[in-house]
Amino acid sequence: MLVYKNQEEIEIIRRNNLLVSRTLAEVAKLIKPGVTTLELDKRAEEFIRDHGAVPGFLGYGGFPNTLCTSVNDQVVHGIPSDYVLKDGDVVSIDCGTYMDGYYGDSAYTFPVGNVSDEVMQLLRTTKESLLLGVEQAIEGNRVGDIGYAVQMHAEKAGYSVVREMVGHGLGKDMHEAPEVPNYGRRGRGVKIKKGLVLCIEPMINMGTKYIKQDSDGWTIRTLDGKPSAHYELAVAVDKGKADILTTFEYIEEILKKKV
């Protein structure tokens, strides 16, 4: 069932997602060689609670933490731990909030120290493919138009698209219909209309598209051990142009200062 939101609901979802954006920026300040992923998680939880929300992931389906921290070959759903980030790592930070009855959900992949040009290119391409997908989130299009745009850009660069994990609707539930795959065919799939709020979240691998799950029951990693990148934005479908409810601006201001 597709749940359409009115403007008031969209504004609550926007507030949630802007808090996620600011939380990710707060985390960005701490990311450097020597910090553990659990330290990032603690800061995120504190920041979210200080701003009147609760962590959206904590306890969701039994997930033990506030952030998903997925390093290098980990695709998504990595559990924060005493793993110490090291120079050259990349870490996908996925964060959710819950406030006023609705969820926020967004993700960004961060370089740690000096990252190889090869891996930086994967990050850039994944973010570009997300933005191309976002452009397709307009009234009258279909979910396949989004997936097609993401897939074409990633595959043209020689990368592969994870199939098993997909984007989703967002609202009173963190995962609502429809599923939003990062692959697809133009003109296929569910028709999207104004009022639908979608999370678009490409997971793009440098090597094979195939993945496996760790014995912790959560962590997803690439089958070949090569790196993966993940970016996520929430958008409200609208006529002509999607209303992007998240922003990477706060994060990228911090990253610019670090260079």
Beta carbon of residue 180, minimum distance to Mg ion (angstroms, whole number): 9
* Distance (Å, whole) CA 174 – CA 108: 18
Q: Which is nearer to Mg ion, 108 or 148 (CB)?
A: 108
- Radius of gyration (C-alpha) of the chain in whole angstroms: 17
Query: Three-class SS string for 34-53?
Result: CCEHHHHHHHHHHHHHHCCC
Beta carbon of residue 175, minimum distance to Mg ion (angstroms, whole number): 7
Q: Which is nearer to Mg ion, 150 or 257 (CB)?
A: 150
Written as one letter, the residue type at 225 is G
* Tokens standing for residue 115: 């990252």
> Which stretches of the chain bind Mg ion, using CB under 5 A?
94, 105, 107, 199, 232
Beta carbon of residue 189, minimum distance to Mg ion (angstroms, whole number): 18
Q: Which is nearer to Mg ion, 33 or 217 (CB)?
A: 217
Beta carbon of residue 33, minimum distance to Mg ion (angstroms, whole number): 25
CB 153 within 8 A of CB 187: no
Q: Which is nearer to Mg ion, 33 or 92 (CB)?
A: 92
Q: Is the peptide bond before 33 cis (omega within 30 degrees of 0)?
A: no
* Tokens standing for residue 79: 């559990």
